[in-house]
Amino acid sequence: MLETNLTGAFLGIRSVAPSMRKAGGGSIVNVSSIAGLHAIPNLLAYGASKWGLRGLTRTTAYELAHNKIRVNAVHPGIIDTPLAHDLVTGNNLVPVDKFAIPRQASTREISNYVLFVASEDAAFSTASEFVADGGFGLGPIL
């Protein structure tokens, strides 16, 4: 989990930073998770990797700022993928009916969000955390 979610991001940044420096700047977007913002039971390694990604994002943003390279993180909530459903029953592993937006995000919604953060429309953001969680962080809406 740490190799994929944290070391993988580090290696990706290390790979693209030289060409971004030569190009005069750019934008790096790390994809984290709500598990990087909230303690979630039974996701110890995943959560630790995503919390670590927050530190990597902020430190890298600081270190690459003088190269005009922005580094931000997107923290998606529950996304409608096979990983969000029980393999046997097909039921949601995380009930979303009590979220402020009572559904899972589509992959298209999250990819569009990442594209926005990478774009010049978000040019004044670096070391920022963009949350697309359908209100998960609010807790259940009663």
Residues annotated as part of the active site: 46
Query: Cβ of 37: how many Cβ atoms within 10 Å?
Result: 20
- Of all helices (H) and strands (E), which one includes residue 132? strand 129-132
Distance CA 114, CA 111 (A): 5
What are the beta bridge partners of residue 31?
74
CB of 111 closer than 8 Å to CB of 55? no
CA distance 61 to 126: 6
**Exposed, middle or buried: residue 138 (CB in 10 Å: 0-12, 13-18, 19+)?**
exposed
